[in-house]
């Protein structure tokens, strides 16, 4: 969600990303730049036979440059995968892996994702042409893409994966979610077999936390499931303008899809209880997702069935909450510019995201980098980000009373919240920076290109 214009330069169809060895400041001289170009041409000749690349062998020069294509979506729309990829691509500064971006975004609205229709087919056809042209022109050793957990998305993924393999490229796929196993359980046996065959064509699958490895148990060997945490740039989050919980009204901030899967119904119920007892406001940043097909796609199996049994009343309850309290003590911002999100985080007191399912929320990391204590649920990789009792509070999924009590406790303990926010900021600086994430991805792509899965 917190994407905005900082990603504006990443949206080209095929964009060569910043690469230090291309500049004289990094190479040191024109001679060195020419030598690097010569080495790349020699490497390309050695890796290609009849237009088909092979993985780099151990005999290739140690200082050879690996070419890679990142076939990933970037904003708009503004959601975790698009924002996370845009941030990572802008942070790319590798001298060993030259990364070319093919933008695979098909929809401008989050609500339209997952549909199989003519508009999606036409949009994908355009993406596919750019993708194939880039593979043929750039001749990468490895392709990096995102793995979907919808039928329509996986069919598109299959075209990209199989095409890359036919052209001799190795493929690394990242799954940015926590519900792949649940998605597979809802599919027919033939679909599950087809997905298994597709995954076996990958060099490896990348997940966003150690806790998320289990999604691919039985589908891939453990050594072919790697972990790549999200990261943010701490320098983009200035010091707070005021201490946390300095004065009423206290401001709770939610950033994410305004949907059942993000726990918004539970937040609405908890907030109604809180506002009767405390001087409190709720700030909401995000897009309203009310279509059941889209809203349910993020849910794990046990909540998927519950949602479909109660979808109409759940969505009516959320809409009624927004209509009744918006403009009173609830401020619904919708989608806003990334600088506005940072300003809101600098003015908020507690960040809350009571999700039913997550991968590793970028919004949580941004809140931590802003010095906010976080109240969230122990789903996906969130317990790897938020240390319970140190940088935030973890509450049970679907338990609005427990959420209300946790938020009330935070309001009653401002000193602890201030300390938790500082610890959260420091934790991001030490463990979850974009620089660290980019370095890990560089090492992974380099190893895969050299044949070391």
User: For the chain, which domains are there?
Assistant: 4-231+434-449 (3.40.50.2000), 234-431 (3.40.50.2000)
Express each pLDDT in 251-275 by its tens digit. 999 999 999 999 999 999 999 999 9
Query: Which residues have CB under 8 Å from 155's CB, separation 6+?
Result: 116
Do strands 250-255 and 225-227 pair parallel, antiparallel, or not at all (unpaired)? unpaired
Question: Rounded to whole angstroms, what are the CA distances from 435 to 98, 201, 440?
Answer: 16, 29, 9
Looking at residue 242, its pLDDT comes to: 82
Cis? peptide before 211, omega within 30° of 0:
no
Express each pLDDT in 301-357 by its tens digit. 889 999 999 999 999 999 999 998 877 899 999 988 888 999 999 999 999 999 999
For 320, other C-beta atoms within 10 Å of its C-beta total 11
Looking at residue 112, its pLDDT comes to: 66
Q: Work out the pLDDT band at 76, boundaries 50, 70, 90.
A: confident
Express each pLDDT in 176-218 by its tens digit. 999 999 899 999 999 999 999 999 999 999 999 999 999 999 9
Asked if the model's pLDDT at residue 12 lies above 60, the reply is no
For residues 114 and 195, which has the higher predicted lDDT (pLDDT)? 195
Distance CA 182, CA 191 (A): 13
Answer for the pair 176, 344: CB distance below 8 angstroms, yes or no. no
Left if phi > 0, otherwise alpha if psi is -120 to 50, otherwise beta: which for 249?
A: beta
Asked if the model's pLDDT at residue 58 lies above 90, the reply is no
Looking at residue 111, its pLDDT comes to: 65
**Segment 214-242 mean pLDDT:** 92
Question: Rounded to whole angstroms, what are the CA distances from 244 to 241, 362, 407?
Answer: 9, 21, 13
Looking at residue 32, its pLDDT comes to: 36
Q: Work out the pLDDT band at 7, boundaries 50, 70, 90.
A: very low
Looking at residue 108, its pLDDT comes to: 79
Asked if the model's pLDDT at residue 17 lies above 90, the reply is no
**Segment 418-443 mean pLDDT:** 96
Distance CA 177, CA 442 (A): 21
Distance CA 276, CA 448 (A): 57
Q: Report percent pLDDT > 90 for the chain.
A: 71
For residues 99 and 453, which has the higher predicted lDDT (pLDDT)? 99
Of 91-95, 240-244, 264-268, 426-430, the poorest mean pLDDT is in 240-244
Express each pLDDT in 353-375 by its tens digit. 999 999 999 999 999 999 999 99
pTM for the complete prediction?
0.84
**Segment 27-37 mean pLDDT:** 36
**Cα 152 from chain centre:** 19
Looking at residue 313, its pLDDT comes to: 97
For residues 26 and 80, which has the higher predicted lDDT (pLDDT)? 80
**Segment 140-167 mean pLDDT:** 95
Do strands 350-353 and 250-255 pair parallel, antiparallel, or not at all (unpaired)? parallel
Looking at residue 418, its pLDDT comes to: 96
Residue burial 304-318, b: 16+ Cβ < 10 Å; e: rest: bebbeeebeebbeeb
The mean predicted confidence, pLDDT, of the chain is 86
């Amino acid at each position: 969600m917190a994407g905005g214009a900082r990603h504006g330069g990443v949206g080209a169809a095929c964009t060569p990303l910043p690469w230090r060895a291309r500049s004289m400041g990094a190479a040191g001289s024109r001679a060195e730049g020419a030598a690097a170009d010569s080495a790349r041409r020699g490497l390309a000749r050695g890796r290609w036979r009849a237009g088909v690349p092979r993985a780099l062998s151990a005999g290739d020069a140690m200082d050879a440059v690996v070419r890679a294509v990142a076939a990933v979506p970037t904003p708009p729309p503004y959601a975790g995968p698009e924002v996370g990829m845009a941030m990572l691509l802008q942070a790319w500064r590798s001298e060993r892996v030259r990364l070319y971006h093919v933008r695979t975004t098909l929809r401008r609205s989050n609500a339209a994702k997952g549909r199989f229709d003519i508009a999606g087919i036409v949009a994908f056809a355009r993406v596919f042409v750019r993708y194939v042209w880039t593979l043929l022109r750039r001749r990468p050793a490895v392709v990096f893409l995102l793995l979907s957990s919808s039928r329509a998305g996986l069919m598109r993924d299959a075209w990209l994966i199989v095409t890359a393999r036919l052209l001799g490229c190795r493929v690394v796929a990242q799954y940015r979610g926590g519900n792949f196993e649940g998605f597979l359980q809802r599919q027919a046996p033939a679909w599950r077999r087809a997905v298994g065959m597709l995954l076996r064509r990958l060099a490896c699958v990348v997940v966003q936390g150690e806790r998320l490895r289990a999604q691919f148990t039985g589908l891939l060997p453990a050594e072919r499931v790697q972990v790549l945490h999200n990261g943010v740039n701490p320098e983009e989050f200035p010091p707070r303008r005021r201490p946390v919980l300095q004065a009423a009204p206290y401001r709770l901030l939610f950033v994410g899809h305004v949907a059942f899967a993000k726990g918004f119904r539970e937040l609405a119920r908890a907030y109604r209880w809180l506002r009767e007892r405390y001087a409190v406001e709720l700030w909401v940043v995000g897009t309203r997702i009310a279509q059941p097909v889209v809203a349910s796609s993020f849910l794990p199996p046990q909540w998927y069935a519950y949602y479909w049994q109660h979808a109409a009343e759940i969505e009516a309850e959320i809409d009624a909450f927004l209509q009744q309290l918006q403009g009173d003590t609830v401020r619904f911002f919708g989608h806003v510019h990334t600088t506005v999100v940072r300003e809101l985080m600098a003015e908020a007191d507690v960040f809350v995201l009571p999700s039913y399912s997550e991968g590793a929320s970028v919004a949580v990391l941004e809140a931590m980098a802003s010095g906010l204590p976080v109240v969230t649920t122990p789903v996906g990789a969130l317990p790897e980000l938020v240390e319970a009792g140190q940088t935030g509070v973890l509450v049970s999924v679907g338990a609005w009373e427990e959420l209300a009590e946790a938020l009330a406790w935070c309001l009653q303990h401002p000193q602890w919240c201030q300390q938790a926010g500082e610890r959260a900021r420091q934790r991001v600086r030490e463990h979850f920076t974009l620089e660290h994430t980019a370095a890990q991805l560089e090492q992974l792509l380099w190893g895969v290109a050299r044949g070391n899965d």
